[in-house]
Amino acid sequence: MLRHEGTVSTTQPRPGASRFFWVAAFSALAALGAVGLGFKQRTEVMRAHEAESKARAAARSTLVVALGFVEPESRVIHVAAPLQTDSARLKLLTVEEGDTVEAGERLAVLDTEDRLKAQFAAAAIQVRLKQLALSQQRFEIASTLAAREADLARARAQVDLASTDYSRQEALFAQGAVTAASVESKRRDYLSAEASFAQAQAALKRMEAHAAAPTGNSQIDVALSEQQLNAARADLAVARANLDQATIRAPIAGKILAVHAHQGERIGQEGLLDMGGTTRMRAVVEVYQSDVARLKPGQRVKITGESLKVPVLGTIERIGSYVRRQSVINNDPATDTDARVVEVRIRFDLAASRALADYTNLQVRAEFLP
């Protein structure tokens, strides 16, 4: 009888299957490690970006920002009429808005010009009349002196002639050619000539002394004529000044920014026109009094505005020393309109000034860079 023995079957792994298992396990572990490393790196990058963004935000929060406006370095000049011409009207306006003028160039002429020209002409005539009167006074004195000198010269000649005749008669009398009466006649003529010479000489000395004396009539007349001439010249200077006021001229070289009065109109409280030297522009910024200590001259400033296509860079030229009430405000109704500010002036180079030349009084935002 055959005995069937049961057999136990033991399954052994194949060599190829074992290697595959371990390779797969290691691959999975490597993939998980790579994923973990990549996640860690991405996390660190995100944290770095976040830190950088926070640092930038913190830097921006520490920047000083303020509002201001743009103006020429010369400021906006309000050209008005002289005080004495309040009732005058414009006879001629020679410029328009946007024109460029030189210093001293004529801007307008008032309708008082014709009347003031006539007054000036009358004053000039008075000066000429006083000059002629003074010349006449001096001429009369000179003529009188010349006449006295001529009289003296004639008297001297008469003395010389009478002396010669008298000497000749004495010689002839000694020869018996003439009578004693004839000699006596010539002697009397000689004595008379000497008397006339002495009289003429005395008259000339009196005239010279009279002309030279400060209190003499001649000198008083001359002094009076000189003072009248000086007064007439002063009147002429006043007439010239009044006439000059009939013409309004540019006080500086610059650009006409606005015209407030036209031909035929009176010049009102706004004046004739506004002008400024726009070759060099600047910004006047109102900085809160609490932020002024963080600024310094030479610090760079970025200027932006609604009408500016690109920001404009400038530098702090001067920081004011007077705290005042804020005058430049934005449209936010919550803005503190009673804030205390200090005026800071921003200077621009020529290129930036050209970009701002057409924007006088433009409200701008100033960001003071660190």
Residue among 60, 67, 78, 76 at smallest CA distance from 346: 67
pLDDT tens digits for 174-218?
887 878 888 888 888 888 888 888 888 887 777 777 666 655 566
pLDDT tens digits for 317-370?
999 999 999 887 765 554 556 789 999 999 999 999 999 999 999 999 999 998
- Between CA 144 and CA 214 the distance in angstroms is 18
Beta carbons of 283 and 366 less than 8 angstroms apart: yes
What pairs with residue 342 in β-bridges? 287, 323
Average pLDDT rounded to a whole number, residues 155-172? 85
E strands of 272-362, at which residues? Answer: 273-276, 281-288, 300-304, 312-325, 340-347
CA distances from 147 to 54, 100, 163, 200 (A): 110, 67, 24, 10
Beta carbons of 248 and 275 less than 8 angstroms apart: no
Beta carbons of 83 and 254 less than 8 angstroms apart: no
Confidence band (pLDDT; 50, 70, 90) for 1?
A: very low
For the record, the structure tokens of 208 come out as 């010279």
Q: When comparing pLDDT for 47 and 286, which is higher? A: 286
DSSP-assigned states of every residue in 157-190: HHHHHHHHHHHHHHHHHHHTSS-HHHHHHHHHHH
Residue type present at position 250 = A
Beta carbons of 252 and 73 less than 8 angstroms apart: no
Confidence band (pLDDT; 50, 70, 90) for 7?
A: very low
DSSP state of 265: P
pLDDT at 218: 66
Beta carbons of 166 and 189 less than 8 angstroms apart: yes
From 45-49, 268-272, 303-307, the region with the lowest mean pLDDT: 45-49
pLDDT at 45: 58
Residues of the chain with pLDDT > 70, as a percent, come to: 78
Question: Does residue 51 register a pLDDT over 70?
Answer: no
Beta carbons of 92 and 272 less than 8 angstroms apart: no
pLDDT tens digits for 212-251?
665 556 677 788 888 999 999 999 999 999 999 999 999 9
Average pLDDT rounded to a whole number, residues 126-149? 86
Q: When comparing pLDDT for 338 and 79, which is higher? A: 79
pLDDT at 190: 82
- The average confidence (pLDDT) of the chain is 83
Residue among 100, 88, 119, 101 at smallest CA distance from 247: 88
Average pLDDT rounded to a whole number, residues 113-128? 95
- Between CA 203 and CA 4 the distance in angstroms is 197
DSSP-assigned states of every residue in 231-261: HHHHHHHHHHHHHHHTEEE-SSSEEEEEE--
Question: Which DSSP helix (H) or strand (E) runs through 78?
Answer: strand 77-79
Beta carbons of 305 and 366 less than 8 angstroms apart: no
What pairs with residue 60 in β-bridges? none
pLDDT at 198: 85
Question: Does residue 12 register a pLDDT over 60?
Answer: no
pLDDT at 2: 36
- Between CA 131 and CA 120 the distance in angstroms is 17
Question: Does residue 113 register a pLDDT over 90?
Answer: yes
- Between CA 252 and CA 76 the distance in angstroms is 11
pLDDT at 3: 39
- Highest mean pLDDT: which of 151-160, 163-172, 300-309? 300-309
Question: Does residue 26 register a pLDDT over 80?
Answer: no
Beta carbons of 89 and 259 less than 8 angstroms apart: no
Q: When comparing pLDDT for 124 and 189, which is higher? A: 124
For the record, the structure tokens of 167 come out as 């000497």
Beta carbons of 195 and 201 less than 8 angstroms apart: no
Question: Does residue 8 register a pLDDT over 50?
Answer: no
Residue 6: helix, strand or coil by DSSP?
coil
pTM, 2 dp: 0.62
